[in-house]
Chains A and B, each alone.
Chain A
Amino acid sequence: MADEKKFAGYICTGCGIGERLDAGQLETIATRDGKMQSCRQHEMLCSKEGVQTIRDDIANEGVTHIMIAACSRRAKVEAFNFTEVAMSRANLREGVIWVRPDTDENRETTQEMADDYIRMACAEVKFMTQPTGSGEQELNKQILVVGGGITGMTAALETAAAGYPVHIVEKSGVLGGHAGGYYKSIPTRSPYAEPQDTGISQMIADVEANDSITVHLNSTLARTEGAPGRFNAEIATESGSSETLSFGAIIQATGFKLYDPSALPQYAYDKSADVVTNEELEGLVMQADGGPIKRPSDGKAVESVAFVQNVGQNSTEENELPYHSGIGDMIAIKQAMYFKELNGNCDTTILFDNLRTPGAAGEDFYRAGQQKMITFSKGAVTEVVPGSTLEVKFKDLILNDDATMQCDLVVLDVGMMPNTGPDPYAQLAVEEAEDEAEKEKARALLENAPPSILNLEYRQGTDLPHLKYGFTDSHFICFPYETRRTGIYAAGPTRRPMDMRQAADDAAGAAMKAIQAAENAGKGRAAHPRSGDLSFPSFRKEGCTQCKRCTVECPFGAINEDEKRYPIFNEARCRRCGTCMGACPVRVISFENYSVDTVGQQIKNVEVPEEWDEKPRILVLACENDAYPALDQSAMNGVEITQWARVVPVRCLGSISLSWITDSLNNGYDGIVLMGCQKGEDYQCHFVKGSEMGLERMSKVGDTLQTLNLEPERVASYEVAITDIQRAPKLINDMAETVQNIGMSPFKF
C-alpha cells in the first residue's frame, strides 16, 4: 500500500553521544513511547554507510517517516537529505551533550533531556507528511514589466535574452522614460572621463525588434490578480480597450519623479526662467541641438552657470527629502561638461556640500571634471536673486565667509522621488482602525497617496508595500529583491535613488528573480527564505470562524478572502512562515510538515515529572533562523543550558499558536521562553512582520496566566539575535532561576 505509513528511528552514537547517553534506553523510548516501528543505532549515522542504511530502509522496507536522533538539524543537512520521506531530528549533540556537564550527578538529568528529545521528535514526525505541492501550480514563463524607461527596457531585454517572453506596459506613448530626454549620460565605461551617448535610441530599437517582447504603450494595469505562475493582468489602454494576459512574474520598474523646487522660495525657481532643474537643463541642451546652450529668459548663450547642489535633499525640514539621490554631483559634473563642450569658455561652478562621486567611476569622473576646469566650491547656497544676471548668495564653507557670484543660469540639483502606488498598509490601516477618529486619521493619510500602479486584487491592498520614504524596497541589505509580494520585484529608482548604470544592473537582478519565481511557481517551490519548501497552508473549513486574522496578519499579503470571508490561500504567494497558523484562534490552519500538532505533540510528549520530583520543565520556542542557530553556537562554545529546558525550533515567532502556551501550562510546564527576532523599523525577522505579530500576541498571554492563576513571569518573550551566543542560553537559565524562586507549577498531574 503506497499510502501506508511506516515509522523508523535512527540513533547516532557518534560524537560522544554513545558515551554520554544510554543509547539502548533511547532506542526503547523511540519504540515504546515514540511508537517507531523500527529503530537502529549507528556509530556514525552521517557516514556513507549510515546514510545508506536509511536509504535501504526507505527503498526496501517502505519506511515513510524517519526520526533521526543525532546532531542539530542545522548540521549534516546534506547527508540527511531524504526528499521522499517525512523527517524529524532530535538534537542530542548541540541540544544535550554539548550543553550539559559530563559529571555523574548530571547523568540522570542529561539522559532525561535526551529521552524527551526522542519523544518529541517521534511525536513530531508522526504528525508530518512529506509535502508534495498543491497541484495548483503552473509554469508560465511570460514576464510582465511595468514601465518602459531604461530600467523596464533593460529588464525586458535581459529577460528575453534568457529565453522568456516579456510584455512591457508603459503609461506614456513612448519608450525611454526620463533618459529619453537626456543629451548624454554619465560614463559607464573606463576611463570615465566624458559624458557618453545614453544608448536609449538603440535600446528602444532593440526592444522593438525583439520577437519575444511585446510593448503596450499608453497602457496601465487596470487589475492584477493571482499569484506567481498565474498572474492575470488586465492591460487597459487610454482608448478604453483592454486585454487580460497571464504572467509568471512581474517586474515593477516605474521609475521616479523629481522634487519640485517651488516649495523652496530661496532658489527663485518660480521667479526666474533662468533657474532650472537639472532635468530641465537636459531639455535646454537638446533644444540647443549641438549649438551653445541658451538661457530660457532671452535666448542668450550661457557664459556662466552655477550648479546648486543638494536642493531640498538630506534635510530634516518638512516638505523636503530626508534622503539624498546620491547622483546629483555626478549629474552636475556631466552637465558642466556640456557647457565646456558647447558653450566655449563658459564658467562652470559646482556649489556642493559633500561631493558624492563614489567608486572608481565616480572619482575618475570627478578628476576629469577638474581637468576640464570645472570649479568645485564647497558652499551652501542661501539665496538666488533673480535679475538679468542671477546673483547666487552662498556661505563659503571653507572660509566661513558669506560670498556671492553672478551667473547667467542656475541649475538646481533636485532629488528623485519614487513612482510608487499607495502603501497597502496605509489602506489596511483604515479598515483596522479601532475607532472612528483613528479611521479618519488613516483616511487622511491616504488622501494624498498616488494612484495605484498594479491594482492588485489582494486582501492587503493594491500595491507593493513601502519600506522607507515611499520606496518600494523590501530589504536594505542581504536580500535586496525580496519584496513582501511574492513574484513581484521592484527595480530601478522606484526602490532606491540610482543612476542609469545602476538601474540597468538592478533591472538584470530583478529579471533574475522574476524568472526564478516563475520557474519555482511551476514546481510549487517556495520563494526566499524557505526556498524550495513544497508545503503550503491549508485549512479546515468547517472549523473556520471567518475571523480574518490570517488574511490580515500574513506578512506577505498572500491570503485573500472569498465572498463569505473564508481565507483563500495562494500557495505561490506564500512564504511558509506560519504566521497565519499562529494567528488562527481556532487552530484550523496547518502545513503538511508544520502544524499545530507537529509542535503541540512535541510539547505534550515531554515527560513532566511530579511536583515533588522537583524537576521543572521549561519550554523554549526558538526561531529557527536566529535564536536556534545562536543556541547551536553556544553549544559549540560549551555554554551550559539548564537541564530543565526543552527547546523546540519554530519557523517564526509569528507562527506560535497560543494553544501551545496554554497546553504547556496546563500540562504542568513551569516556565516558557519565547525567542524571536528584532521587530520594528530595523527589523531582523526574515518574515518581516512575523516576529512583531508574535510578540504582539504574546503580550496578551498575561490574561491566560491570570485565568490559570499563574505568575506572569512564567512566560517570557525576547528578541534574540543570531549573535546572542552568550545571552540566549542565559535567558533560558534565568527562567530556571525564576521557577526556583516562584516555585513549581501547580498544574502537574
Chain B
Amino acid sequence: MTEVIATNQTILVVGGGISGLTAALEAAETGKQVVLVEKRPFVGGRITQLYKYFPKLCFPTCGLEINQRRAKMNPNLTIISMAEVTEVQGEAGDYSATIKISPRYVNENCTGCGDCTRAVEAEFDNEFNYGLGGMSKRKGAYLPHKMAHPQRYVLDPRIIGTEDADKAKAACKVNAIDLEMQEETLTFKAGAIVWATGWRPYDANKIQPYGYDRFANVITNVEFERMADPQGPTGGKLLRPSDGKEAKHVAFIQCAGSRDHNHLLHCSRICCMATLKQTHFVQDAWGDDGKSTIYYIDIRAIDRFEDFYTRVKNNPNVSFIKSKVASITENSENGNPVLHGVDVESYNRDGNGGYDRYATEYDLVVLAVGMEPSVDKGTFPVDISINEEGFIEPAPENGGVFAAGCASDALDVNRAVQQATGAALRAIQVVNRVAGTEGQ
C-alpha cells in the first residue's frame, strides 16, 4: 500500500511535467512538504519526448537530469507516479484530495536491471513515440525511457494474466514484480494545490482536409521531434513512415488546428519556434539537399527569439509561404503528400502580384499542431475558473489552487517554468498562513 503523510501544510502538485516538477522542487527546496502526483510512470512530462529545445538547440534531458537529481535528493518531496487526482474537497488551507493509483506491477525493490524486459516477449506500439510508436515497439515490461525517474520498470497491463507476466516475475531476482497489485485509492490532506496538468497535442485527425489519418507521410510536429531524436523510432534519421525513404523535402504547416474557429481558437505560441527549430533538423540531416518550406499565417517568434527567426530566414534551404493550406492529397505513385492552396504573397517567388494557386509535392509533411489543455473542460475534479479555450484563469475564486505552466496558457518551457515558480510561491503563501495559525 502506498502511504502518504500529509497535513494542511502540505502542498499538492498535480502533474509532474516540467511545470509541476519545477513548482514541486522550488517549494520543497524552501523547506515545504510536497506531494507530487503524476499520471505517467515517470516525471518530466512531454519535454522528455522532445529532441531539442529552442533557441539554444540544446537537449531537454540536460536540465531534466538536474531536476531529477534535485528530486532524488530532497526528502521533502514525495512523488507518486501512475496516479491521478479524482476529487478535491475543501478550501484554501484545508483541502482533502483523493487520488487513484494504477497498478505498475513493479514495486520499489526494482533495481532497474532490465531482466524482466529481456524475459518478456510481447511487444506493443511505443506510446513514447506518439503515432510513430509502431516504427519501434517496446516490450510488455519496460522502462519508458532511459532517464525515466523513478528508475523503475512498468508492466503493461495487457500482459497481466499471460505467460509473459509469469516470465517477468520469474526473471526478477529482487522480488520486485507483484502481479497481484491492484488499483489503489488514497485520500490525504493538503493546504494548497498547484495544478500543472499541462497540454496535449491537438488531435490531428480532426483536421480532415490534411489527411493525417489517411496519409502515412503526414505527421505531427511532436512525432517529427521523436523522428529526429537518435533515441527515437528511426534512430534519429528523417525517414518517412510509408516506405522508409529519406525525407529531404519537408513541408511544415503552421497553425494546424490553431487560430481556427473549427478547432482551437487560440494561438499556441510555441509552434512557430518549434518549426523554425525543426528546420535545423532537416538542415543537419541533409545539408543543402534538405529543403524546408513553412506555410504560415504569421510567424510569431516572440521577443528575444526573433533573432532565431532571422537566422532561419537567412538559410537559403528554408522558404516561407504565407498561406493557410487548403488540403492535402497523396500522389499514389510515390506516396508524396501534395499540398493545395493559395499563396497570398506569390510575388515573393514570381515577382508578379496576385494570388497564385499551388499544388506542391513533398517527401514529408509536418503538421505544427497546437497545444490544448490536457484536462477537458468540465472534467476538472476541482472547482476552478476555466476560460473558453480550456485554460485555467488566474482567478481569486480559485482559492488555494494555482495553475502552473500550460494548464494556464499555451507556453514554452521557459515561460512555463517561470510561471510554475510563481505558482509555488502562491502555494507557499497559503501553507505559511496555515502554519501561522496552527503553529509550525
Residues of A within 8 A of B (CB): 14-16, 44, 46-47, 71, 74-78, 81, 93, 158, 161-163, 188-191, 313-314, 316, 322-327, 354-364, 367, 397-401, 468-469, 471, 476-481, 496-498, 502, 505-509, 511-513, 515-516, 519-520, 528-529, 531-532, 625-626, 629, 633, 636-637, 677-678, 682, 684, 686, 721-723, 725-726
Contacts and interface: CB of A to CB of B under 8 A. Distances in A.
Contacts of A78: 72
Specify the main secondary structure of chain A where it touches its partner: loop
A397 B345 CA distance: 7
Contact of A629 (B111, B147, B414, B425): B147
B173 A398 contact: no
A107 B154 CA distance: 32
A519 B31 contact: yes
A358 B30 contact: no
B365 interface: no
Given A477-B414, A478-B63, A636-B146, A496 B303 contact: yes
Contacts of B74: 531-532
Contacts of B57: 682
Contacts of B59: 684, 721-723
Given A14-B111, A189-B394, A476-B55, A515 B418 contact: no
Contact of A359 (B18, B174, B269, B347): B269
Interface in B392-434: 393-395, 409-411, 413-415, 417-426, 428-429, 432-433
A324 B308 CA distance: 11
B301 interface: yes
B360 interface: no
Given A398-B344, A496-B304, A360 B65 contact: no
Contacts of A162: 425, 428-429, 432
B257 to A, nearest CB: 13
B265 A360 contact: yes
Contacts of A531: 25, 29, 70, 73-74
Interface residues of B, number: 86
Given A480-B418, A684-B62, A633 B174 contact: no
A532 to B, nearest CB: 6
B168 to A, nearest CB: 16
A46 B111 CA distance: 8
23 contacts: A44-B111, A71-B112, A81-B75, A162-B428, A189-B395, A327-B303, A360-B387, A364-B389, A367-B265, A398-B344, A477-B414, A478-B67, A480-B417, A481-B418, A497-B303, A505-B419, A513-B26, A515-B425, A532-B29, A625-B62, A626-B65, A682-B56, A723-B61
B353 A400 contact: yes
Interface in B82-118: 109, 111-114
Given A316-B310, A506-B418, A722 B62 contact: yes
B425 A721 contact: no
A75 B113 CA distance: 11
Contacts of A722: 59, 61-62, 65
Nearest to B431: A162
B301 A324 contact: yes
B351 to A, nearest CB: 9
Contacts of B410: 358-360
Given A323-B306, A401-B353, A723-B231, A477 B53 contact: yes
A188 B409 CA distance: 12
B62 A161 contact: no
Nearest to A637: B146
A46 B307 CA distance: 50
A44 B62 contact: no
A492 to B, nearest CB: 11
B67 to A, nearest CB: 8
Task: Determine which residue in B174, B300, B419 has the highest number of CB atoms from chain A within 10 A of its CB, and name it.
Answer: B300
A81 B417 contact: no
A685 B422 CA distance: 25
Task: Determine which residue in A477, A496, A498, A529 has the highest number of CB atoms from chain B within 10 A of its CB, and name it.
Answer: A477
A512 B428 contact: yes
A480 B428 CA distance: 20
A476 B73 contact: no
A277 to B, nearest CB: 18
Contact of A356 (B25, B73, B298, B417): B298
Contact of B421 (A188, A323, A361, A512): A512
Contacts of A682: 56-58
B151 interface: yes
A75 B151 CA distance: 8
Contacts of B259: 363
A532 B61 CA distance: 21
B324 interface: no
B417 to A, nearest CB: 6
Given A358-B269, A359-B410, A398-B345, A477 B63 contact: yes
B302 interface: yes
Nearest to B63: A478
A357 B146 CA distance: 38
B299 A190 contact: no
Contacts of B73: 77, 81, 531-532
Given A46-B111, A359-B409, A505-B422, 15 more contacts: A14-B174, A161-B429, A190-B387, A323-B304, A324-B306, A359-B268, A360-B410, A364-B388, A400-B345, A477-B58, A496-B303, A497-B303, A507-B422, A520-B29, A625-B65
